[in-house]
Every structure is written in structure tokens, then in C-alpha cells.
Amino acid sequence: MKKNLLTLSLLFVAALAFAQSETKKVDGKNEIKLNLFGTILGMPEITYERLLKDDDALGISAFIGVDDDLEYKYGFMPYYRIYFGSKKANGFFIEANSALIGTKTYNYVYYGNYEYYAHVTSDLNFGLGAAAGAKFITKNGFIGEIYGGVGRIFNRNAVVEAYPRVGITIGKRF
């Protein structure tokens, strides 16, 4: 599974590298990005962002937890960003986000020195959070981004009470 994920990531990067041969100013309002940090941790994340004006944007991120040890199995995170850079949707930003996150928890019962598998708990959780970061864009429209933040899950029965919003992403504006 990890080999397939690595192959997909490399194909995505290769497609971005050969997508445009001419150097020109990028006036696009759409961006697609891959979170490299999440991919390394076993939660590959793809993001689509639509620029509303020069200083704000709406986007949605989706991830899948491919590692069995992770409690986070999938998630969708719509967000709104405000940019403070001098260029179009570039530089420092702050983000408000919400999340729908599916978690799976394995519950065990302990008897003395032995551990017995009891049952699996699956939940769909809702949360709200914030993040801050910086985006850098080249003249060709390639994007590099780094951000960090956290969100709170509002499910009383949730095993996890927060979700991370961190990433080192690469992408393309079109």
C-alpha cells in the first residue's frame, strides 16, 4: 500500500512538472495541492482551493488514513483563508476550518497479563479549528506551502478530542 501511495505521489509531482512549458504570469483562480507531510505520516491529503479575491480563498481538503495504527481513517475539511501578502493569494495567511473526521478505535479488555480484542468503535466527528501558515508561488504557478494549527472535536463520545491541521504542500495554480 505504501509503494502504491509513493508511486501516486511521484506521478502527481511529475504531472505538475510537465504541465506547462512556457513561462508566463499565472492569473488562475484554482489550485490543487498534495500534502507531503501528511503522506509521509500515512494520511495522504489532497486539497482544492478557489481564490475569491486577491486576499481570500475557500478550499476543501480530503484525507484517508492508510496506516492501521492511526485513529483517523478519513476526513473532509472545508476552510476559509485570508492572505496578507502583497501578491495575489500569497504570503502569510490565517485559516478558519471545520472538519468531518471518521475515527476507528480498537477496544481491548485486559485480564491479568493477557490482552483480548473486544470490539471496534467507529465514529463520525465534527470539529472547528484554526491554522496559520505561509504560501509561496513561482511565476510558473507552482505552489509551496507550510502551515500548522489544531481543531476541537465536538463529539462527547469521541476517543480523540482534537485534530491536527499541519502540512507541507506542493501544488499548482491554474
Residue 100 dihedral angles phi and psi, to the nearest 5°: -115, 110
Quick check: 149 and 115 in contact, CB under 8 A? no
Domain boundaries, the chain: 2-17+28-173
Q: What is the pTM of this model?
A: 0.79
Top-level CATH class of 2-17+28-173? mainly beta
User: What pairs with residue 163 in β-bridges?
Assistant: 151
For the segment 25-64, what is each residue's pLDDT rounded down to a tens digit? 668 999 999 999 999 999 999 999 999 999 999 999 999 9
